Structure 1
Amino acid sequence: MNQTPEESLVAKESYEDYSRSQRHQGVNRESRKEVKKTKVPTLHKLYIVFWSALTACLSFAVLPFLADTANSLQSQNFYLGLMVTKGQLPFSDLFATGGFLYYIILAIGFFISANLWIALVNFLAYYVTGIYLYKVFYYFTEDSKVATIANLIFYLLNLILGFGGLYPIQWAMPFVMVSLWFLIKYFAGIIKDEAFILYGFAGAAAMLLEPRTLIFWGISFITIGIYNISQKHVARGFYQLLCIILGTILVFYTSGYFILNLQILSPYISQAVIYPFTYFAVGSQNLWLSILFHLLVALASGLLLGFFGFFRGAFKGEDKVSKFLIFLVAFIYLVIACLSQDFRLYHLLTLLPFGLILTVMSLNTSYQRSLAKTSHRRKKTGRGASQFLSYFLRKHLYLPILVLILSFGHLTYVSLMGLSENAERSTIATYLTSQLGSEDKIYVWDDSAKIYFETQAQTSAQFALPTVNTVKKSNAKLLEDDLLQVDSEFVVVNPEIPMSDVLKNSLEANYDKVSVEGVSTFKIYQKK
C-alpha cells in the first residue's frame, strides 16, 4: 500500500514515539522472561537427587538404629500413624496437631512397608523442594553455582534442624515452594491466571499436611489482593479467586468426604487449625531464654543475615513484591519459633527456606561485587561453587560449622546417655507384650513412645505422651482426667517426668507396683 509523504511522516513519528516509550520496556520484559524461566540443568538435578536421597535415608523411621534418637514429637507422630491402623483416630481419639493427610500417609506405611514407604515419601518431598528452591535461588542470583551451593546449605540445615525427619512441615514444604515459585513468576508478569487452580490445589494439600503453612497462604493471598488492586486488576483478581477456590475444592472435597464420615471435623479444626495459632508454647522453658536461643541459632545457621540486608535496602528494584512476601513470611515464622518456649531446633524448620532465600539474596549482592573487583584473577583462580560456600561461611564467622558440630555432638551425647533407659524400655515392652490381652490399653508416662511402639498397644488417654501438647493447662487437665478413669491395664512411669500429686495418689490407690528384672529406672504399675 503506497503512502503519501505526510502519512509516511506520521507513521515514522508514531514509530519513534513507540520506541521511546514502549520499545525499551518491551525488550526488558522479553529478556526478563528468559531469565525467569529457569530450567534446572541435568547435573544439578543429579546433585539434588543425591542430597535428597541422603537426607531421606537419615530418618529414624527408615534406619531402625536411629529410632532411639527420636524426640517426643517425632516418636508420638510415628505412633499415631500406627494407631490409625489399630482403629484409633487422630483428633477424636488422640490429640494431634498435624494435618489429616500427614497421619494417613504414616498409616499407609504400616499397611505396607514402613521403612521403604517413609523413605520414598521423604525423598520425593526433599527432591521437589530442592528443585523449586534451586529455581528460586537462580531466579534471584542468576548464578547456577550460587544456586547449587545454596541448595546444599538447605539440605545440611534440614539435617541439622530436623534430624530424623517425620516433621509435617518437611512433607508440606514441596507444595509451599511450588506455590512460592508460582507467585514469583506471577508478580513478574509471566504466568497465566488459569494457573491459580494449581496454586489453590497446592495450598490445600500443604494445609492438610501441616496446618501452620496457613500463615504462608494467608500472607500470600493478602499480597495478591493488594498487588491486584494497586495494578487495577480487580476483574483479574476476582477470576483468580475463582480459580483458587476451584483448586482448593479439588483437594478439600476429597479429604472432607473422609473427615466428615469419620466425624472428626470439629476436633480437627480445634486441634490442628485453632490450637497451633492460639497457643504457641510447646515447652515450659523461660520465654526470654527461648527467644534468645532461637535468635542465636537462626543467626549462626545463616537464616537471619538476610533480615539485616532487607532493612539496608538490598531488596529494592525488581520483584519487590516477591521479596517483601518472603520477608514477611520469614519474620512471622521466626516469631513463632521464638515463642515456643522450647530449646529444640525443629521449630526453625518453617523459617528455613524463607530465611535462607533472604540470606542468599543479600550475600549474592556483595558476592558478585567481590567477584567484579577480582575479575582479573578469575582465569587463574576460577569461579567454582565452593567459592560461594567459603564466602557464606566467612560472612557468618564459620558459625554454621559450629552449629553442625554442636547439634550432632549433642545428639550423640543424648543417645549415649539414653542407652540404659532405652534398654529398659525394650525390656518393659517385652514384659508387657506377654501380659497384655488384645483389648488391653496402657499408658506410658515418658518422653518417648518406644514402649508403645514395641508393644503396639493402644494408649488409654488422648495425649499419648505427657510431654507433647500438654503445656496448656486445659490440655494437662484433660490428660489427668483420662488417667483418673483407670482404663489402663498397665501404667509405666519415668520418674524424671514430673507428675501431679493427684495422679500419684490415684496410682497408689488403684494399681500395684510390679517388679521386672532388668528395670530399675522406670516404675511399672498393674491395675488391681
Structure 2
Amino acid sequence: MYDTMPEQEMKETVVETFHEENEKKSVFIEPTSTPFVVLFLWSLLLSVLSVANPFLTNLSTNLQSQNLYAGWAMAQGQVIYGNIYGTSGLLYYLANWAGSLFMGNISFAAMQCLALFVAGIYLFKIVYQLTAVKNTSIKILSLFYCLTLALGWGGLYSSIFAFPFVFGSLYFLMRYVTGEASDRGFIGFGALGALIFMIDPVTSLVFYLVTFLALLVYNIWAKKKAHGLYQLFAILVGFSLVFYPLGYYTVLNGSFGLAISQILYPWDSLHFSGQHLLYNGLLYGGLIIGLGIVVTWVKSFSLPANSLERFLQLFSFFASLILVLFVFFLPDQGAYQLLPVLPFFLILLSMWLGKSKLKRGGRHSRVQKSTSILGTYVAKNAFLPLLAVAYLIGFPFVNQYVLSTGETSERISAANYIKSKSKNTDKIYAWDTTAALYQASGRLSAVPILTPSLYQGTDENQMSLVNSLKETTPTYILVNNQVSLLQDIKKQLKENYQQTDLKLNHFKLYKLK
C-alpha cells in the first residue's frame, strides 16, 4: 500500500507524523517547497483587479482615489504631508511617487503584486509550520488572497504593502521561540518594524506594542530576563538604521512636523460616542461575524498547543482584538480598515482548522480534509463568509452603477469643462466623495485635505480645511449635492464665487469671481 503511495503524499504523511509526535514541543519544520506559481497567479490577479486598472478606476473609494492622486501630484512636484494630506507612511508614498514616474499606476500595481507575492511566501512558511501539510497551507494562502481581494477591493492600500513585512516579522518570532533565531536577529526585526511603520503606521504601532508585551511575558516564562534588554536595544538599533535615513526626507522638505501630526491622525480622531458608532457596529460587527473572525477567536483556543502555538495564539488574538476595537471607534469608515487584522486572523484560523484536521488521525482522512479546508471554513461559519465576500465585492458595483448613477459622467463633464476653461497652473477643489476630479481635469488641489468626506474626524482638520479654502481661493470648486456644505463654505461661495453655466444634476460647479 505504501509502495504505491504518491511521493508528495508520503512526504506529507511523514511530516504530519513528526508534527504529532512533537506536539508538546516547539519543533521548527521547514517546508520542502514553496508554491511560487500559485503565489504569483494570485498576486497578479489581485493587482490586475486593482483600481490602477483604468477599467476599474471608477470603483475606487475616497481613500483609493486620494492615494492615486498623491502619486500623480508628487510626480508634479507636490510634497506629501505638506501639499497632500496623508496618514500612511512615507515609504508607501515614495513607492507611489516612483510608480507615477515610471508607467504611472501600472508600476504601482506591479509593486503591489510583488508585495503580495512576498507576503504569500512568508505566510506559506508560517502556516506550514502550524499544519505540516502543504495542501492545507496552499488552501489557507488562497483564503488570504480571497479575503484581501474582498476587504481591500481595488487594492493599493498601505496595509497591503505592509503585509510582507508583517508576515516576515511573525516568521522571525516563530523562529526565535523555537530556538532557530538568536538575539542578534532582533536588529533585522527592528529594521522590519521601521519598514512597517514607514508604510502603515497604525499596524506597526499595534504590532510592536503586542510584540513588546509578548516578549516580556515569554522571556520571564523562559527565564531569559536579561535577554529582553538586549533584544530591546537590538530592535532600537535596527529601527534607527532604517527610520532615520528615510525620515530625513521629511526634514529636508520641512514636513516633519506635519508628517507626525498626520500619521497620528487615526489615534487623534478616535471617538467613543457619536452616530458613527452605529454604522461601525453594523458594518464591522457584521464583517467580523460574517468572515468568521469571532468564531476563530474562540475555536483557536479549543485544541492543545505547544509553547510556539500558544505564543502565536495569544499574540495573534490580542493583536487582532486591538485592531478590531480600534476601527470600531474611527469616524472614517470602510471595509478596508479591517485589512490589518488579516495576518493575525489567518494564523488563528490555521491553528483551528489545521490542528483539528491533524487530530482526526489517519492518512486518508488527512488528505481528504486538506482538500476541503475552505469548505470547512465556510460551513463552520454557517456559510456567512460567502455572503460577506459577495457583499464586499458587489457593493462597489452597486454603489457605482445603481446608487450613484450619473455622478461619474457628470464629474467627467465638470473635469473637461475645468480643463478647457482654466490654466495649467490654476488650482481647484472637489467638495465631493472622491478625489477623482483632480486627475480627470489635470489640475492640482488647492488645499492638502483633498475632500471634505475624509480626515474630518478632528476639530483641527475641520478648521484647517475651512481656513485653507479661504486663504487659497481655488479657481473652481465642484460641489456634490449629497455632501453637506459648512456655513463658512456657503458664505465663501456666495461672496467670492459664481455658478457656471454647466448644467449638472448631481453637482454645482462654481468659478472664482
Q: Same fold (TM over 0.5)?
A: yes
Query: CA-to-partner distance for each residue in 1:423-464, whole Å, 9 max, x for gaps?
Result: 111111111112222321111100111111112312112211
Q: Are the equivalent residues in 1 in contact too, given 2:191–2:238 (CA < 8 A)?
A: yes
Distance in structure 1 (CA, Å) of the matches to 2:190 and 2:215: 13
Alpha-carbon shift at residue 510 of structure 1 (Å): 0.6
Provide the residue aligned with 2:77 in structure 1.
87
Distance in structure 2 (CA, Å) of the matches to 1:489 and 1:410: 34
Q: Are the equivalent residues in 1 in contact too, given 2:268–2:458 (CA < 8 A)?
A: no
Provide the residue aligned with 1:102 in structure 2.
92
Alpha-carbon shift at residue 344 of structure 1 (Å): 2.2
Q: Are the equivalent residues in 2 in contact too, given 1:290–1:342 (CA < 8 A)?
A: no
Alpha-carbon shift at residue 39 of structure 1 (Å): 2.8
Q: Aligned to 1:488, which of 474, 479, 485?
A: 474
Q: Are the equivalent residues in 1 in contact too, given 2:424–2:442 (CA < 8 A)?
A: no
Query: CA-to-partner distance for each residue in 1:146-188, whole Å, 9 max, x for gaps?
Result: 2111111110000100011111111011101100110111112
Alpha-carbon shift at residue 350 of structure 1 (Å): 0.9
Say whether 1:434 aligns with 2:420: yes
Letter matched to residue 190 of structure 2: G
Query: CA-to-partner distance for each residue in 1:21-79, whole Å, 9 max, x for gaps?
Result: xxxxxxx989967x52423624x222111111111211111x10100100111101211
SS at match of 1:340: coil
- 1:127–1:501 Cα change, 3 Å: same
Q: Are the equivalent residues in 2 in contact too, given 1:148–1:385 (CA < 8 A)?
A: no
Moved more, 279-288 or 189-198: 279-288
Q: TM-score, normalised by structure 1?
A: 0.87
Alpha-carbon shift at residue 251 of structure 1 (Å): 0.9
SS at match of 1:91: coil
Provide the residue aligned with 1:400 in structure 2.
385
Moved more, 186-195 or 85-94: 85-94
Q: Are the equivalent residues in 2 in contact too, given 1:200–1:248 (CA < 8 A)?
A: yes
Q: Are the equivalent residues in 2 in contact too, given 1:40–1:134 (CA < 8 A)?
A: no
Q: Aligned to 2:498, which of 502, 509, 512?
A: 512
Distance in structure 2 (CA, Å) of the matches to 1:332 and 1:150: 23
Q: Are the equivalent residues in 2 in contact too, given 1:129–1:174 (CA < 8 A)?
A: yes
Distance in structure 2 (CA, Å) of the matches to 1:183 and 1:127: 21
Letter matched to residue 397 of structure 2: T
Q: Are the equivalent residues in 1 in contact too, given 2:99–2:107 (CA < 8 A)?
A: yes
SS at match of 1:351: helix
Provide the residue aligned with 2:11 in structure 1.
none
Say whether 1:462 aligns with 2:452: no
1:99-248 correspondence to structure 2 within 5 Å: 99-212=89-202, 213-248=204-239
Alpha-carbon shift at residue 241 of structure 1 (Å): 2.8
Alpha-carbon shift at residue 311 of structure 1 (Å): 5.3
Distance in structure 1 (CA, Å) of the matches to 2:72 and 2:349: 39
Query: CA-to-partner distance for each residue in 1:243-292, whole Å, 9 max, x for gaps?
Result: 222321221121122121111111111110x2222323599753144224
Distance in structure 2 (CA, Å) of the matches to 1:312 and 1:377: 24
Query: CA-to-partner distance for each residue in 1:284-313, whole Å, 9 max, x for gaps?
Result: 753144224312211211322221125546
Provide the residue aligned with 1:411 in structure 2.
396
Distance in structure 1 (CA, Å) of the matches to 2:444 and 2:272: 24
Letter matched to residue 147 of structure 1: S
Distance in structure 1 (CA, Å) of the matches to 2:291 and 2:309: 26
Provide the residue aligned with 1:52 in structure 2.
43
Q: TM-score, normalised by structure 2?
A: 0.90
Distance in structure 2 (CA, Å) of the matches to 1:339 and 1:281: 5
Q: Are the equivalent residues in 2 in contact too, given 1:171–1:209 (CA < 8 A)?
A: yes
SS at match of 1:209: coil
- 1:40–1:498 Cα change, 3 Å: farther
Q: Are the equivalent residues in 2 in contact too, given 1:442–1:458 (CA < 8 A)?
A: yes
Provide the residue aligned with 1:16 in structure 2.
none
Distance in structure 2 (CA, Å) of the matches to 1:392 and 1:162: 20
Q: Are the equivalent residues in 2 in contact too, given 1:282–1:471 (CA < 8 A)?
A: no
SS at match of 2:481: coil
- 1:360–1:281 Cα change, 3 Å: farther
1:58-77 correspondence to structure 2 within 5 Å: 58-61=49-52, 63-77=53-67
Letter matched to residue 402 of structure 1: L
Query: CA-to-partner distance for each residue in 1:175-231, whole Å, 9 max, x for gaps?
Result: 011001101111122212221121011110110011112210122023223322443
Distance in structure 1 (CA, Å) of the matches to 2:470 and 2:369: 64
Moved more, 45-54 or 356-365: 356-365
Alpha-carbon shift at residue 411 of structure 1 (Å): 2.0
Query: CA-to-partner distance for each residue in 1:103-162, whole Å, 9 max, x for gaps?
Result: 111111111112331122111110111111111111112222221111111100001000
Distance in structure 1 (CA, Å) of the matches to 2:232 and 2:388: 43
Query: CA-to-partner distance for each residue in 1:395-428, whole Å, 9 max, x for gaps?
Result: 0111111122222222221121334211111111
- 1:133–1:377 Cα change, 3 Å: closer
SS at match of 2:477: strand
Alpha-carbon shift at residue 499 of structure 1 (Å): 0.8
Distance in structure 2 (CA, Å) of the matches to 1:314 and 1:349: 29
Q: Aligned to 2:248, which of 257, 265, 268?
A: 257
- 1:377–1:201 Cα change, 3 Å: closer
Letter matched to residue 388 of structure 1: I
User: How many equivalent pairs are there?
Assistant: 491
Q: Are the equivalent residues in 1 in contact too, given 2:165–2:195 (CA < 8 A)?
A: yes
Distance in structure 1 (CA, Å) of the matches to 2:328 and 2:186: 33
- 1:429–1:502 Cα change, 3 Å: same
- 1:86–1:38 Cα change, 3 Å: same
Q: Aligned to 1:444, which of 406, 417, 430?
A: 430
Distance in structure 1 (CA, Å) of the matches to 2:93 and 2:392: 28
Letter matched to residue 502 of structure 2: V
Provide the residue aligned with 2:30 in structure 1.
38
Distance in structure 2 (CA, Å) of the matches to 1:322 and 1:403: 26
Distance in structure 2 (CA, Å) of the matches to 1:522 and 1:415: 16
1:359-374 correspondence to structure 2 within 5 Å: 359-369=349-359, 371-372=360-361
Q: Are the equivalent residues in 2 in contact too, given 1:429–1:451 (CA < 8 A)?
A: yes
Alpha-carbon shift at residue 378 of structure 1 (Å): 4.5
- 1:355–1:513 Cα change, 3 Å: same
Letter matched to residue 38 of structure 1: E
Provide the residue aligned with 2:284 in structure 1.
294
Task: For structure 2, list consecutive stretches of 5 or more residues without a partner in the other structure.
Answer: 1-20
What RMSD, in angstroms, separates the aligned Cα atoms of the two structures? 2.5
- 1:247–1:292 Cα change, 3 Å: same
- 1:282–1:407 Cα change, 3 Å: farther
- 1:231–1:385 Cα change, 3 Å: closer
Letter matched to residue 257 of structure 1: Y
Q: Are the equivalent residues in 1 in contact too, given 2:109–2:156 (CA < 8 A)?
A: no
Alpha-carbon shift at residue 498 of structure 1 (Å): 0.7
